[in-house]
Structure 1
Amino acid sequence: MSNDDVLSMYVKAANKHDFNLAITLNINGALVTGTTISAQSYFDKISESFEDGNDVAQSLSDQLKSASETAEKSSSDEARFIHLKEAQVYCGDSNPTPSKGKFLWRGKLSEVDGFFLGTIAKDK
Protein backbone atom coordinates (compact mmCIF):
# COMPACT_ATOMS: atom_id res chain seq x y z
CA MET A 1 0.00 0.00 0.00
CA SER A 2 1.38 3.41 -0.91
CA ASN A 3 1.46 6.45 1.33
CA ASP A 4 -0.47 9.65 0.70
CA ASP A 5 2.04 12.06 -0.88
CA VAL A 6 0.64 15.10 0.94
CA LEU A 7 0.73 13.38 4.34
CA SER A 8 4.26 12.16 3.60
CA MET A 9 5.26 15.75 2.82
CA TYR A 10 3.99 16.87 6.26
CA VAL A 11 5.89 14.06 7.99
CA LYS A 12 9.10 14.89 6.10
CA ALA A 13 8.72 18.55 7.15
CA ALA A 14 8.32 17.42 10.77
CA ASN A 15 11.36 15.14 10.56
CA LYS A 16 13.69 17.55 8.76
CA HIS A 17 12.53 20.95 10.01
CA ASP A 18 10.76 20.23 13.34
CA PHE A 19 7.49 21.35 11.70
CA ASN A 20 4.54 20.94 14.09
CA LEU A 21 1.08 20.49 12.61
CA ALA A 22 -2.22 19.79 14.37
CA ILE A 23 -3.67 16.78 12.54
CA THR A 24 -6.27 14.03 12.86
CA LEU A 25 -5.75 10.69 11.14
CA ASN A 26 -8.35 8.10 10.17
CA ILE A 27 -6.90 4.63 10.75
CA ASN A 28 -9.06 1.52 10.38
CA GLY A 29 -12.15 3.39 11.59
CA ALA A 30 -10.45 5.06 14.55
CA LEU A 31 -9.44 8.73 14.73
CA VAL A 32 -5.98 9.58 16.06
CA THR A 33 -5.54 13.26 16.84
CA GLY A 34 -2.43 15.18 17.92
CA THR A 35 0.46 17.35 16.75
CA THR A 36 3.25 16.13 14.48
CA ILE A 37 6.77 15.92 15.86
CA SER A 38 10.00 14.66 14.35
CA ALA A 39 11.13 11.07 14.76
CA GLN A 40 14.14 12.45 16.65
CA SER A 41 11.92 14.32 19.13
CA TYR A 42 9.75 11.24 19.58
CA PHE A 43 12.72 9.01 20.45
CA ASP A 44 14.28 11.70 22.69
CA LYS A 45 11.07 12.09 24.70
CA ILE A 46 10.52 8.33 25.02
CA SER A 47 14.15 7.86 26.07
CA GLU A 48 13.74 10.43 28.87
CA SER A 49 10.93 8.40 30.41
CA PHE A 50 13.34 5.47 31.02
CA GLU A 51 16.43 7.40 32.18
CA ASP A 52 15.93 7.11 35.94
CA GLY A 53 14.92 3.45 36.02
CA ASN A 54 16.74 0.20 36.72
CA ASP A 55 19.42 -1.35 34.46
CA VAL A 56 16.87 -2.61 31.92
CA ALA A 57 15.18 0.80 31.76
CA GLN A 58 18.58 2.49 31.35
CA SER A 59 19.47 0.10 28.54
CA LEU A 60 16.17 0.92 26.80
CA SER A 61 16.88 4.63 27.25
CA ASP A 62 20.31 4.22 25.65
CA GLN A 63 18.85 2.29 22.69
CA LEU A 64 16.19 4.96 22.17
CA LYS A 65 18.85 7.70 22.26
CA SER A 66 20.69 5.79 19.57
CA ALA A 67 17.49 5.57 17.50
CA SER A 68 17.09 9.33 17.93
CA GLU A 69 20.61 9.97 16.64
CA THR A 70 19.98 7.65 13.69
CA ALA A 71 16.72 9.46 12.90
CA GLU A 72 18.51 12.81 13.00
CA LYS A 73 21.25 11.67 10.62
CA SER A 74 18.93 9.81 8.28
CA SER A 75 19.21 11.17 4.78
CA SER A 76 16.36 9.03 3.49
CA ASP A 77 13.55 10.98 1.87
CA GLU A 78 11.14 8.14 2.58
CA ALA A 79 8.91 8.61 5.60
CA ARG A 80 7.41 5.37 6.94
CA PHE A 81 6.09 6.47 10.35
CA ILE A 82 4.26 9.48 11.70
CA HIS A 83 4.87 10.67 15.27
CA LEU A 84 2.40 12.72 17.30
CA LYS A 85 2.56 14.47 20.66
CA GLU A 86 -0.50 15.16 22.83
CA ALA A 87 -2.13 12.24 21.03
CA GLN A 88 -5.58 10.81 21.64
CA VAL A 89 -7.43 7.96 19.94
CA TYR A 90 -11.19 8.06 19.35
CA CYS A 91 -13.24 4.95 18.54
CA GLY A 92 -16.86 5.84 17.85
CA ASP A 93 -18.52 8.33 20.19
CA SER A 94 -16.64 7.18 23.28
CA ASN A 95 -14.17 9.23 25.26
CA PRO A 96 -10.66 9.33 23.82
CA THR A 97 -7.91 6.98 24.90
CA PRO A 98 -5.96 8.17 26.80
CA SER A 99 -8.48 10.60 28.22
CA LYS A 100 -6.05 12.48 30.48
CA GLY A 101 -2.42 13.49 30.18
CA LYS A 102 -0.12 14.11 27.25
CA PHE A 103 0.98 11.09 25.25
CA LEU A 104 3.23 10.31 22.33
CA TRP A 105 2.00 8.15 19.45
CA ARG A 106 3.78 6.42 16.54
CA GLY A 107 2.01 4.88 13.56
CA LYS A 108 2.70 3.51 10.09
CA LEU A 109 1.95 5.94 7.28
CA SER A 110 0.85 3.00 5.14
CA GLU A 111 -2.04 2.36 7.58
CA VAL A 112 -3.54 5.87 7.35
CA ASP A 113 -6.82 5.89 5.40
CA GLY A 114 -7.29 9.67 5.49
CA PHE A 115 -6.61 12.82 7.50
CA PHE A 116 -7.70 16.37 8.17
CA LEU A 117 -5.80 19.32 9.56
CA GLY A 118 -6.66 20.24 13.12
CA THR A 119 -7.31 18.23 16.24
CA ILE A 120 -10.48 17.03 17.87
CA ALA A 121 -11.41 19.02 20.96
CA LYS A 122 -13.69 17.16 23.32
CA ASP A 123 -16.41 19.31 24.90
CA LYS A 124 -15.76 19.77 28.59
Structure 2
Amino acid sequence: MDNILRNFVKAANQGDFSLDLTLNVNGALVTGTTVSAKKYMQSLSRTFENGNEISQELSEKLSRASEVNYAHEEISYIHLEEAQVYNGDSKPTPSEGSFYWRGKLDEVDGFFLGKIDAN
Protein backbone atom coordinates (compact mmCIF):
# COMPACT_ATOMS: atom_id res chain seq x y z
CA MET A 1 0.00 0.00 0.00
CA ASP A 2 1.23 3.47 -0.87
CA ASN A 3 2.39 5.33 2.26
CA ILE A 4 1.65 8.72 0.71
CA LEU A 5 -1.97 7.75 0.09
CA ARG A 6 -2.16 6.22 3.59
CA ASN A 7 -0.99 9.56 5.04
CA PHE A 8 -3.70 11.43 3.11
CA VAL A 9 -6.34 9.10 4.56
CA LYS A 10 -4.85 9.39 8.04
CA ALA A 11 -4.99 13.21 7.79
CA ALA A 12 -8.65 13.02 6.71
CA ASN A 13 -9.48 10.76 9.67
CA GLN A 14 -7.62 12.97 12.17
CA GLY A 15 -9.25 16.24 11.33
CA ASP A 16 -10.82 18.54 8.86
CA PHE A 17 -8.55 17.63 5.94
CA SER A 18 -9.86 16.94 2.46
CA LEU A 19 -8.16 16.48 -0.86
CA ASP A 20 -9.42 15.97 -4.41
CA LEU A 21 -8.07 12.65 -5.67
CA THR A 22 -8.49 10.29 -8.58
CA LEU A 23 -7.73 6.64 -7.89
CA ASN A 24 -6.99 3.82 -10.30
CA VAL A 25 -8.78 0.75 -8.93
CA ASN A 26 -8.73 -2.45 -11.00
CA GLY A 27 -8.72 -0.48 -14.27
CA ALA A 28 -11.47 1.95 -13.25
CA LEU A 29 -10.92 5.57 -12.25
CA VAL A 30 -12.62 6.68 -9.04
CA THR A 31 -12.60 10.43 -8.50
CA GLY A 32 -13.79 12.47 -5.51
CA THR A 33 -12.79 14.30 -2.35
CA THR A 34 -11.36 12.52 0.68
CA VAL A 35 -13.48 12.55 3.83
CA SER A 36 -13.02 11.02 7.24
CA ALA A 37 -14.40 7.59 8.10
CA LYS A 38 -16.53 9.40 10.70
CA LYS A 39 -18.17 11.63 8.08
CA TYR A 40 -18.74 8.62 5.83
CA MET A 41 -20.45 6.67 8.64
CA GLN A 42 -22.57 9.69 9.59
CA SER A 43 -23.72 10.03 5.99
CA LEU A 44 -24.72 6.37 5.85
CA SER A 45 -26.53 6.70 9.16
CA ARG A 46 -28.63 9.61 7.84
CA THR A 47 -29.55 7.56 4.77
CA PHE A 48 -31.38 5.00 6.92
CA GLU A 49 -32.74 7.09 9.81
CA ASN A 50 -36.25 7.71 8.39
CA GLY A 51 -36.97 4.18 7.21
CA ASN A 52 -38.70 1.24 8.84
CA GLU A 53 -37.59 -0.36 12.11
CA ILE A 54 -34.73 -2.31 10.49
CA SER A 55 -33.49 0.81 8.69
CA GLN A 56 -33.58 2.80 11.92
CA GLU A 57 -31.62 0.04 13.68
CA LEU A 58 -28.99 0.20 10.93
CA SER A 59 -28.90 3.98 11.29
CA GLU A 60 -28.23 3.68 15.03
CA LYS A 61 -25.43 1.13 14.49
CA LEU A 62 -23.80 3.34 11.86
CA SER A 63 -24.17 6.36 14.13
CA ARG A 64 -22.36 4.48 16.91
CA ALA A 65 -19.69 3.41 14.40
CA SER A 66 -19.15 7.07 13.52
CA GLU A 67 -18.16 7.74 17.15
CA VAL A 68 -15.10 5.49 16.91
CA ASN A 69 -11.86 7.47 16.93
CA TYR A 70 -10.67 6.51 13.45
CA ALA A 71 -7.58 8.65 13.86
CA HIS A 72 -6.06 5.82 15.90
CA GLU A 73 -7.47 2.87 13.95
CA GLU A 74 -5.50 0.83 11.42
CA ILE A 75 -6.12 2.46 8.05
CA SER A 76 -7.67 -0.02 5.64
CA TYR A 77 -10.24 2.05 3.73
CA ILE A 78 -10.41 5.32 1.85
CA HIS A 79 -13.63 7.34 1.75
CA LEU A 80 -14.57 9.83 -0.96
CA GLU A 81 -17.50 12.21 -1.25
CA GLU A 82 -18.92 13.52 -4.51
CA ALA A 83 -17.43 10.39 -6.03
CA GLN A 84 -17.74 9.28 -9.62
CA VAL A 85 -16.47 6.12 -11.28
CA TYR A 86 -15.15 6.00 -14.84
CA ASN A 87 -14.93 2.53 -16.28
CA GLY A 88 -13.74 2.68 -19.87
CA ASP A 89 -16.26 5.15 -21.26
CA SER A 90 -16.69 8.90 -21.16
CA LYS A 91 -19.76 8.94 -18.88
CA PRO A 92 -19.14 8.54 -15.14
CA THR A 93 -21.33 6.60 -12.75
CA PRO A 94 -23.40 8.27 -11.50
CA SER A 95 -23.73 10.74 -14.33
CA GLU A 96 -25.87 13.03 -12.14
CA GLY A 97 -25.91 13.68 -8.42
CA SER A 98 -23.23 12.64 -6.01
CA PHE A 99 -22.49 9.82 -3.62
CA TYR A 100 -20.00 8.61 -1.07
CA TRP A 101 -17.56 5.85 -2.04
CA ARG A 102 -15.59 3.49 0.20
CA GLY A 103 -12.74 1.34 -1.06
CA LYS A 104 -9.92 -0.79 0.26
CA LEU A 105 -6.63 1.04 0.28
CA ASP A 106 -4.72 -2.08 -0.70
CA GLU A 107 -6.85 -2.34 -3.89
CA VAL A 108 -5.70 1.07 -5.18
CA ASP A 109 -3.20 0.66 -8.02
CA GLY A 110 -2.32 4.34 -8.34
CA PHE A 111 -3.61 7.87 -7.85
CA PHE A 112 -3.19 11.47 -8.84
CA LEU A 113 -4.12 14.72 -7.16
CA GLY A 114 -7.26 16.35 -8.51
CA LYS A 115 -10.70 15.27 -9.64
CA ILE A 116 -11.91 14.50 -13.12
CA ASP A 117 -14.52 17.06 -14.14
CA ALA A 118 -17.44 15.38 -15.92
CA ASN A 119 -18.34 18.62 -17.70
TM bracket (short chain): over 0.9
Counterpart contact for 2:13–2:70, Cα < 8 Å: no
Matched, 1:85 2:85: no
Aligned to 2:26: 28
5+ unaligned residues in a row in structure 2: which ranges? none
Any residues of structure 2 matched to 1:1-20 within 5 Å, and which? 3-20=1-18
Any residues of structure 2 matched to 1:36-115 within 5 Å, and which? 36-70=34-68, 72=69, 75-76=72-73, 78-115=74-111
Deviations 1:1-44 (A, max 9, x none): xx100000000000001211000000000000000000000000
1:92 Cα deviation after fit: 1.1
- Counting matched residue pairs gives 119
Deviations 1:95-120 (A, max 9, x none): 10111111000000000000000000
The TM-score, its normalising length taken from structure 1, stands at 0.92
Alpha-carbon distance between aligned partners in 2 of 1:24 and 1:30, rounded to the nearest angstrom: 10
Percent of aligned positions that are identical: 58
- What's the C-alpha RMSD, in Å, of the aligned pairs? 1.1
